[in-house]
Amino acid sequence: MEKLFTNKSILVTGGAGFIGSHLVDRLVQTKAKVTVIDNLITGHRENLKAAEKSGLVNFIQADISLPETISALGTAHYDLIFHLASPASPRGYMDNPIETYTVNSFGTHYLTRYALSTGARFLFASTSEVYGDPLEHPQREEYWGNVNPIGIRACYDVSKRFGEMVLTTTARRFDFDFRLVRIFNTYGPRMDPKDGRVIPNLVLQAISNQPLTVHGDGTQTRSFCYVSDLVEYLLRTMVSLETRGIPINIGHPEEYTMLALAKKVIDLTDSTSEITFTDRPEDDPNRRQPDISRAKKLLGYEPQITLDIGLKKTIDFFKTIAPTMSKIRYK
């Protein structure tokens, strides 16, 4: 499969972010030529340090929700466009709500028009949040979701749904070659330690022997996919002919309560931390688990990294950066 990316010219929006930078690393390994566009609201240029040494990466700091950014691309031709640009953590999109909804709405619109004009194949990184607080479990792609359109998370949930609408509406009118993935919880090295997501929070508390904070009574569930598995899904989805024009759930199907996750983190870090309970955030989904039957059938892949192995790798990363935490700030 990797030969399908060799010498290809590829645009990755949001490529300095957590998932985006891991995707860029993998594309560089295939000898693809990669252009990254990122406004660095929640991404970090440091994430691309290794990839940029290859000489195959061109970085542009810009906001793709602005038409002038797209115009500046001019006649540049990209074979493939991975559209990952967007704050993705609750703190990220709640601190930047307007930037979040504009990149997923206007940004997606402008990029689809650009892809149409150049003939590029397009992949949009949507999210499991389009299902909201689901009434169906596990969530299948056919499920329409249960989203609060005026809630505090709507800037992200609803704008991702808007982005999906842009793609499908465009495809109904034009011959638009797009891929659509709904990403469930993903974790691993390069997660922003201050982005508010559950795994960074719990790991940092555990390695500091501080109380682990669990929202509510800890019975709410999530499923966690290690970032290397997520990147494999993205690559396979992009090159598959069978995934054109349909949503694909990508993630790990194993479901864990937040209380079980906290206990696992304590065990893996040999922490002396205790667990404390706090109020749950507004519109926090009660259960979240992907049905990945479609991905297994069409992509011939399912996650290879267990939660224990992935958490150990993630814990090692946070132990490495913990001494510099005072220098890290959330943008």
Would residue 80 count as lying in a domain?
yes
Q: What is the mean pLDDT of residues 274-286?
A: 90
Locate 286 and state its tokens.
């009660």
Picking from 54-58, 74-78, 137-141, 297-301, which range would have the lowest pLDDT averaged per residue?
74-78
pLDDT tens digit sequence for 114-136? 999 999 999 999 999 999 999 99
Give the pLDDT confidence score for residue 329 in this predicted structure. 37
Task: Give the list of residues 6+ apart from residue 316 with CB closer than 8 angstroms, or none.
Answer: 189
Tell whether 101 is covered by a domain. Answer: yes
Q: Of 93, 156, 226, 233, which residue is the catalytic one?
A: 156
pLDDT confidence band for 220 (50 / 70 / 90) = very high
- Does the residue 211 lie in any domain? no
pLDDT digits (tens, 9 = 90+) for 229-263: 999 999 999 999 999 999 999 999 999 999 999 99
Q: Give the mean pLDDT of the chain.
A: 94
Tens digit of pLDDT for each residue in 51-78? 999 999 999 999 999 999 999 998 788 9
pLDDT band (50, 70, 90) for residue 3: confident
CB-hemisphere CA count at 13 Å for 207?
A: 19
At residue 6, what is the residue type?
T
Range from 119-133, 175-189, 190-204, 242-256 carrying the lowest mean pLDDT: 190-204
Question: Does residue 39 lie in a domain region?
Answer: yes
* 191, 192, 195, 197 alpha-carbon torsion, rounded to 10°: 20
Residue 28 forms part of a structural domain? yes
Residue with tokens 């009118």: 173
Is residue 175 packed enough to be buried (19+ CB in 10 Å), middle (13-18) or exposed (0-12)?
exposed
- Nearest-angstrom CA–CA distance, 56 and 33: 5
Spatial separation of the C-alpha atoms in residues 287 and 42, rounded to whole Å = 26
Q: What is the pLDDT of residue 318?
A: 94
Residues 6+ apart with CB under 8 A from 206: 212, 265, 266, 269, 271, 273, 315
Full domain range(s) for residue 121: 2-186+226-252+290-304
Q: Identify whether 118 is part of a domain.
A: yes
Query: CB of 283 within 8 A of CB of 238?
Result: no
Closest CA to 48 of 81, 26, 69: 26
Residue 327 has pLDDT above 60, yes or no: no
pTM summary value: 0.95
Instruction: Provide the domain count of the chain.
Output: 1
* Residue 330: per-residue pLDDT: 32
Predicted local confidence at residue 258, as pLDDT: 95
In a domain, 314, yes or no: no
Chain-centroid distance, C-alpha 328: 21
119 belongs to a structural domain: yes
Tell me if residue 156 is catalytic: yes
Q: Per-residue confidence at 325, pLDDT binned at 50, 70, 90?
A: low
What is the domain-level CATH number for residue 110?
A: 3.40.50.720
User: What is the pLDDT, as a whole number, of residue 323?
Assistant: 67
The answer to whether residues 37 and 72 touch, using CB atoms and an 8 Å cutoff, is no
